[in-house]
A and B are shown apart, each in its own frame.
Chain A
């Protein structure tokens, strides 16, 4: 218990462009337990994607460290698989191939060819994309592409699943559908998830905790809200749930009353 599963410790980040140095993040401290679903919400430009990329190893923090199971994170790896906002599927590979390229690399030495094939299919079935396995990304819809993106990340059996505004580019109905799928998968597999979002309802619906970021520059964690709604959660029932309404109001209050416009905070 004293050793947290995932820990951000005094993480800070500044970008240097010529003479100008911009401090994006300062003093970010966060602990996440195994199996927890945490969302990070904030206005655009508050550095939440930067924070996710530091955890993903795609960026190096200027100060502070991120620890996963006690080990310092300093490079990208499949134990922190990322679901990218724009799905990032490779257009020359089929749906199957896009997952197989990750599975073959990550499990190439540990699983036989047949096992790897089964594992790819299992993950495709998990996101209900098995029937489209031979299609290429440009032949399937945006929502389906993102399903494949999620399957690719899950197939790596990550210790933490990172999702960078995974549903941002989708229409509202498709988004709701995918949110339900993610909740189902999380309930079944019990992954640890860190999700970036700018959608208040999405954050409250999916998360165990919502991390609210202050505005940049030098953004940090402003407040953390625990969502104590029982699972499984159903969006229809929650619409009239007083606890849901309270959580939603708390996040809205933080975003639109206390940390209104990024420009004002900078001035």
Chain B
């Protein structure tokens, strides 16, 4: 439909004097473009439509279930009307912890940014060490395998005891949560570097340092980014939980605070925001990885 319409309209606009044979001659170069647009449109529809349909059905069922008087959770319409101020004024700042969604999320993201960056640097370094040295692997791997199963929040009391302040404790929880997948994936990547690459390095006599920069790191990039993606997801999970306990500004404590003052609709909106930010973080790391590895690592 679309293709035909585009083709005829362009053909009609062409200054074609007289015969129909001219139009036939013009068509071949035009048709692919029109078809491409139509194909892109079809593709977009097939990608966007299913989630839209599912979302609408979910909202509809939710609306039905929660519309009765005495329902414990608000229906979508009530969520929007209750939390309207929170939704349309993300930048308000009344001092203290009474801030808009943007500031709450920024604070949490800032913590994740610092904690996760530290975890990335230390995790990649430890991963390379464990991947390259059999002794380091034998010594450290069992410890890593045990520690990585400790739930993020279980570290919080210990870090509060150690740091005496809530902010560094939150950073530590993020660090310790996200570092394990980074270490493990990096070390697997280093161990899986093909012998061929090492042979090439040996023949051209690269120094240890050059091998590290020019062979080990680039060959491990796809693995490292797999670890970083898992790590950033975990740290976003951890920060929301940690902030509930440490208080102050942050989307985690915002939810807890909203619960204490029975603002259920604000909680629901905050959950949606957390989900979207987490999704974007994951995509961000995947995109960076795609470019850094020159398209070798899958997106």
Contacts and interface: CB of A to CB of B under 8 A. Distances in A.
Contact of B199 (A58, A77, A92, A105): A58
Contact of A90 (B200, B202, B210): B200
A88 B199 contact: yes
Interface in B198-255: 199-200, 202-206, 210, 214-215, 218-219, 221
B196 A84 contact: yes
A156 B204 contact: yes
Nearest to B202: A76
Contacts of A77: 203, 205
B197 interface: yes
B294 A78 contact: no
B202 A58 contact: yes
B293 interface: yes
Interface string A101-116: 1100110000000000
A26 interface: no
Contact residues of A: prevailing secondary structure = loop
Contact residues of B: prevailing secondary structure = helix
Nearest to B205: A77
Contact of A105 (B204, B221, B293): B204
A106 B199 contact: no
Interface in B147-186: none
B218 A105 contact: no
A86 interface: yes
A82 interface: yes
Nearest to B294: A92
A80 interface: yes
Interface in A46-78: 56-58, 75-78
Contacts of B205: 76-78, 105-106
A92 B219 CA distance: 8
30 contacts: A56-B203, A57-B202, A58-B199, A58-B202, A75-B202, A76-B205, A77-B205, A78-B203, A78-B204, A80-B203, A82-B199, A82-B203, A84-B196, A84-B199, A86-B196, A88-B194, A90-B197, A90-B200, A91-B294, A92-B218, A92-B219, A92-B221, A92-B294, A101-B214, A105-B206, A106-B204, A106-B205, A136-B294, A138-B296, A156-B204
